[in-house]
Structure 1
Amino acid sequence: MKRFYILGVAMGMSAFLSSLFGCHVSDGDFRSLSVAEFKEYIADTAVVRLDVRTAEEYAEGHIAGAVNIDVLQPDFKQKSKAVLPKGKTIVLYCRSGKRSKKAARILSELHYKVVELDGGYMEWTKAGQ
């Protein structure tokens, strides 16, 4: 009986800690969109397109009209605050989706409305965009 009690306490504690420290792919105030959804979203001229890859990656090809701010640079927050308007939705992408999720979390914490392209520029070009 004591063994079941300890097991129950351990499971309860594990669930509690998971809820506190659990990881979610897109928690925060941003959404991850498929290529088709992203294409519809960026058709709105009121959104700001943001490429968070390196300048070299951006120069090799990017979505038309996208501003480039490298999320891996230490001044990403400062540049974003200086360039991105608070009142507009920021639609962003990277190469594969990993850096864009990082950027989306950062920008969400800065109270921007953010949408990111799941799968990144690779999925965008693979879909023929």
Structure 2
Amino acid sequence: MSESDENEIEQIIRNISPEEALELIKDMQDDPDFIILDVRTPKEFESGHIEGAINIDFRDENFASTMDERDKEKKYMICCGSGVRSSKALTVMQDCGYIEVYNILGGIRMWKVSGFPLTEE
């Protein structure tokens, strides 16, 4: 095994259902290193988002550089409207070297269909 293999950290990059996401949120609610990242536009975000989420717009021209500057050691759960942008964001984050990222399949749309709460605060 080469030295570079020994230093390589295994990434956890997964698509999860809204139900799995809700469980993850419950399990991680007291962990300051767990971040819910909503990659929709600010207007979409303001219309309702998962409580505690932060908003970084995937469509912003600086998205990749913004993500490259964030703490890659933290655990992230990402979502968008339907899962398309968050899937693309997942790839960006994986390429940037994020250690642990979970993507909610179906995005906020499936979150709502599952009957889970959103906030506008």
Q: Aligning the two structures, in what range does the TM-score lie when normalised by the shorter sequence?
A: 0.7 to 0.9
1:100 CA displacement: 0.5
Counterpart-to-counterpart distance in 2, 1:100 and 1:29:
16
For 2:114, the aligned partner's letter is A
After superposition, residues 10-89 of structure 1 pair within 5 angstroms as 30-43=13-26, 44=28, 45=31, 46-82=33-69, 84-89=70-75
Q: Please say if 1:101 is aligned against 2:87.
A: yes
Pairwise CA RMSD: 1.5
Going by fraction, where is helix more abundant, 1 or 2? 1
The answer for unaligned runs of 5 or more in structure 2 is 1-10, 117-121
Task: Name the count of aligned residue pairs.
Answer: 101
For 2:46, the aligned partner's letter is A
Q: Deviations over 1:49-89 (max 9, x none)?
A: 0000000000000001111001111100222234x322111
Q: Secondary structure at the match of 1:101?
A: helix
Q: Deviations over 1:12-56 (max 9, x none)?
A: xxxxxxxxxxxxxxxx95211011111111220331100000000
Runs of 4+ more than 3 Å apart: none
Contact map agreement 2:67 2:96 (CA 8 A) in 1: no
**Identical-pair percentage:** 35
Q: Secondary structure at the match of 1:128?
A: coil
Counterpart-to-counterpart distance in 2, 1:124 and 1:60:
14
Counterpart-to-counterpart distance in 2, 1:54 and 1:61:
11
Choose between structure 1 and 2 for higher RCO, CA contacts under 8 A separated by at least 6 residues.
2
